[in-house]
Structure 1
Amino acid sequence: MKTMTAWLCHCSLGLSLAFSMSACQAETVATSKSIIVANEEVLQWQDVVSLNEPWAMVFVSNDAVLITEKSGQLQWVDVNTKAIHNISGVPAVVYGGQGGLGDVALHPDFANNRLVYLSYAEAGDKHTQGAAVVRAKLEGVAPNLSLQNVEVIWRQMPKVTGKGHYGHRLLFGHDGKLWISSSERQKFQPAQDMNSHLGKIIRLNDDGSTPSDNPFVGQGAMTEQIWSLGHRNILGMALDVTGRLWVNEMGPQGGDEFNLIQKRGNYGYPEVSDGDHYSGRVIPNHDTRPEFIAPKIVWTPVISPSSLIRYQGSGRPNWQHDFLMGGLSSKALIRVRIQADSAQEMARYDMKERIRSVAQSPDGRVWILEDGRKGRLRQLLPP
C-alpha cells in the first residue's frame, strides 16, 4: 500500500413550509449527548431519531428534513417532535450491496414548485442494474405526503452486473444546473470511455436535458452529458464560495481523493491512482502521467469519504467555508480547508460510528447520519 501523500497544489434554503406535524410518532432514540475532542476543539452532539440504513438527507425547513433509506423509503422527519412520516410514490429500487435508494435534493425553486430529485439503483435486463434520477412534486401535508408526477430524467448507461459504485450524488450548482456523480460500477476501463456514463460527472438542466455549454455537446446524446471523466467512486460533492465544484472520491486500496473539478478534466482512473487494486496489481501514481489531473489531497490509509458540504453557519467562525465530509471506515467527521487551488485537512473528529451523510439546516446547524441499521440522525450543538 502506498504511503500517505497530501497534494497541496500550491441554498441556504431559508424555507418555511406549513405542514402539519401531527400523528405518526417516530421510532426515536433515547436523547443522549456525546462529546468529541480533537485539536483542543470540543464538539457536542445530540441524538434525534434512529432510521433504517439512512443514506442521504436534505432540509426543507429548519425543523423538517427528508431522509432516504437505502431499502427504498423516503422519510419526512420533524426534528422537534421526532415524528417520522413515510412519503409514498418512491420508484422501485434494486436493493442490495451498495444499491438502493440514494440521494435526495431539492430544486433551487422548491419553495414555489415543490420539486424533489431522487437517485436510486434501477433494474435492467439480464440481472443488470444502474443508477437513475427522478424528479417529482411533493404533495400533501404530514402524515399524508406523496410524490406525484414522478419522471425519470436520467439513466446511467450502460447498465451492468454487480452491486457496487453507483455514486449517484446530486447537487444543484449556482447556475441551476444539476450535477450527478456517476461512478464506474467497479468496471475500471469505462471511466475512460466517452461512450459510457461510468466513471464520469454528469451535468444536466433541471429537466434532464443537456446544457448548451457542456464541453462535449454535439458528440452524441450520452457523451454530451459528460462534464469530467476518469473517476472511480464519487460520494460527495459541494461548491466553494465562487461556485467551483469539489468532490471526494473513494480510491481503491489506498488513494482516497479530494478533487477540484475542471470542465473537460480527466482525473486518470484507472490509468493512474495513488492506491492499488485490491488484487495487488499496482496502479501507476498520478505523478507518472502529468496529462491527468492530480487530486488536491490523497488519503492513505483511506478515510472512505461519504458526503460533503461547505460550512455556512455562524456558530463556529473558524469553520466558515471549510468543507465537512463524513468518513465510513474512518468513523469520522473530517474538516478540510481550501485556499485558492490547494486544500488541507484541518481536523478529524472521531465519531466512533460510520458517517454516511452530513448536512446543514437553513439556520446553519450541522447534522450527520450514521450508516447502517438504526443509524442515528445527530445534531451538532452550539459551542
Structure 2
Amino acid sequence: MRTLLLLLTLMAAPLAADEYRIQTLADGLHHPWGLVELPNGELLVGERRGQLLRLNADGSRTRIEGLPEIASGGQAGLLDLALHPDFTDNLWLYFSYSQSGLGGTGTTVARAKLTGNRLIEQQVIFEQHPKTSGSAHFGSRLAFDPEGYLFITTGERYHSRDMAQQLDNHLGKIIRLHDDGRVPEDNPFMGKPYALPGIWSYGHRNVQGAAIHPHSGQLWTHEHGPRGGDEVNIIKAGANYGWPVVTFGQEYGGGVIGQGSTAPGMEDPLWVWVPSIAPSGMLFYTGSEFPQWQDSLFIGALKGRKLVRLTLDGEKVTQEQHLLTELDSRIRTLVQAREGGIYVLTDDSNGKLLKLLAPR
C-alpha cells in the first residue's frame, strides 16, 4: 500500500491553463510569511525579518508597531499570524516568532490586541523549551479548531531531531492550548510526570502547514522530510508520527535514517513526496470562486516552486495537480479570501502577495 502511495505522488495530473487568473496585490515584500484578512477586508502581512504590515484598501502600507524583540536570520523571524475566532469583539491577533534566550532560540507564540496600527496588551502564551542553537526548523503554524482550541506546530530545530521522540520537551511536537495559553484538561499527556502537558502529538520534523478540515474539524498538517519524505498527516491526540525513527527521506549526504518507513505504534502519513517539494502553507478550499475546487487541499511548495492541489475522497488522495508553475516562485502561505479567491504569498526578498481568481 505504501509503495502505491509513493507511486501516486509522481502521477500529477495536468492542469487546464484557463482554470484561474492571477492578480498581483503587492510586491517588494521581504520574505513574507504570515497573512490574515481583517474583517474590513484589509490584510496583515508579516515579514520574516520582523516587520508587520497593514495593506490598506488604497494599496498603501502601514507598519504595525509594538512587536516584541524577534531573532531573525536563516529560517528564524516573525512567522505565522492568526486571528482569534472572535477577533471582531476582542481584537486578539496571534503571532509566532523565534525568540532568543538561554541556550539559543526557539518558537514562541504571543497574542496582542490590534488597535489602529499598534499592538497592545501583549501576552506570551507559549515558549518552546528548550531553546537550542541554530537557525532552522521552527515550524510554525497556528490554527484554531471549531471548539476554539489553538494548535501550534513546531520543528525539532534540526540538530536536535532525537528529541522529537521525547515527551519532556517541545521540539518536534504539535501543541494544543486554550486561547489564553492554558493547557486543556483533556490533552493526552495531561498529568503525566514524564511529559509536558501541552503536547498533542509528537515525532514531527518541521511542520510548516496546518489546517482544520472543514467537515470533521480535525487538524491536518504537513511537514518537511529530509531529502524526500515530505508528509501529509491527519493528527490524532497522543499519536507518534515517527521522526526520526521512520521516514521516507534520507540523509542529505546520502544514507538511511532510522529503521525504515513504517513501524508499529507510529502513524503512517496520508501522502508522501519523494523527491521533496519542501511544503509550506496549507488550505482546505471551501469558497464559491472555484466550485470545481470545493474541499480540495492546497499546499505550497518552496523547493518545488508550485502550488499543489490534492483532490480528496474522504481521507484518501485521488489526484494531485500542480498550479502556478509558470511563476517559478517559492510558495510560502495560502489563505482563503472571504469572497472565495485564494491569497498566495511568495517567499523571496522581493516577495509578492497574489490572488487567484476565476477566469473572466
Both structures adopt the same fold (TM-score exceeding 0.5): yes
**Equivalent position to 1:309, from 273, 279, 283:** 283
**Equivalent position to 2:153, from 157, 181, 188:** 181
1:18-40 per-position Cα deviation (integer Å, ceiling 9, x unaligned): xxxxxxxxxxxxxxxxxxx9422
Cα deviation for residue 4 of structure 1 reads 8.8
Query: Do 1:157 and 1:198's aligned partners in 2 also have CA atoms closer than 8 Å?
Result: yes
Root-mean-square deviation (CA, aligned residues, Å) is: 1.9
Q: State the number of aligned residues.
A: 347
Inter-partner Cα distance in structure 2 for 1:184 and 1:4: 29
Inter-partner Cα distance in structure 2 for 1:212 and 1:116: 24
1:48 maps to which residue?
25
Runs of 4+ in structure 1 deviating by more than 3 angstroms, as ranges, are 3-8
1:286 counterpart = 2:261: yes
Q: Name the amino acid aligned to 2:185.
A: S
Query: Do 1:62 and 1:361's aligned partners in 2 also have CA atoms closer than 8 Å?
Result: no
TM-score calculated relative to the size of structure 1: 0.87
2:316 maps to which residue?
342
Secondary structure of 1:6 counterpart: helix
2:333 maps to which residue?
357
**Equivalent position to 1:124, from 94, 97, 101:** 101
1:73 maps to which residue?
51
Inter-partner Cα distance in structure 2 for 1:346 and 1:272: 24
Query: Aligned pair in 2 of structure 1 residues 97, 276: CA closer, same or farther (>3 Å)?
Result: same
1:96 counterpart = 2:69: no
1:118-172 per-position Cα deviation (integer Å, ceiling 9, x unaligned): 100000125x0001000100012xxxx1000111110000000010000021110
Q: Name the amino acid aligned to 2:234.
A: L
Query: Do 2:128 and 2:171's aligned partners in 1 also have CA atoms closer than 8 Å?
Result: yes
2:187 maps to which residue?
214
Q: Name the amino acid aligned to 1:6.
A: L
**Equivalent position to 1:259, from 233, 238, 252:** 233
Structure 1 unmatched ranges of 5 or more: 9-36
Inter-partner Cα distance in structure 1 for 2:61 and 2:273: 37
Cα deviation for residue 204 of structure 1 reads 0.3
1:299 maps to which residue?
273
Inter-partner Cα distance in structure 2 for 1:220 and 1:57: 38
Inter-partner Cα distance in structure 2 for 1:129 and 1:198: 12
Cα deviation for residue 290 of structure 1 reads 3.0
1:114 maps to which residue?
91
TM-score calculated relative to the size of structure 2: 0.92
**Equivalent position to 2:203, from 211, 218, 230:** 230
1:6 maps to which residue?
6
1:148 maps to which residue?
120
Cα deviation for residue 280 of structure 1 reads 2.0
1:202 counterpart = 2:175: yes
**Equivalent position to 2:307, from 325, 333, 358:** 333
Cα deviation for residue 242 of structure 1 reads 1.2
Structure 2 unmatched ranges of 5 or more: none
Secondary structure of 1:324 counterpart: strand
1:99-130 per-position Cα deviation (integer Å, ceiling 9, x unaligned): 0000000000001000000100000125x000
1:230-271 per-position Cα deviation (integer Å, ceiling 9, x unaligned): 000100101112101111110001100011111111010000
Query: Do 1:165 and 1:183's aligned partners in 2 also have CA atoms closer than 8 Å?
Result: yes
**How many percent identity over aligned positions?**
40
2:41 maps to which residue?
63
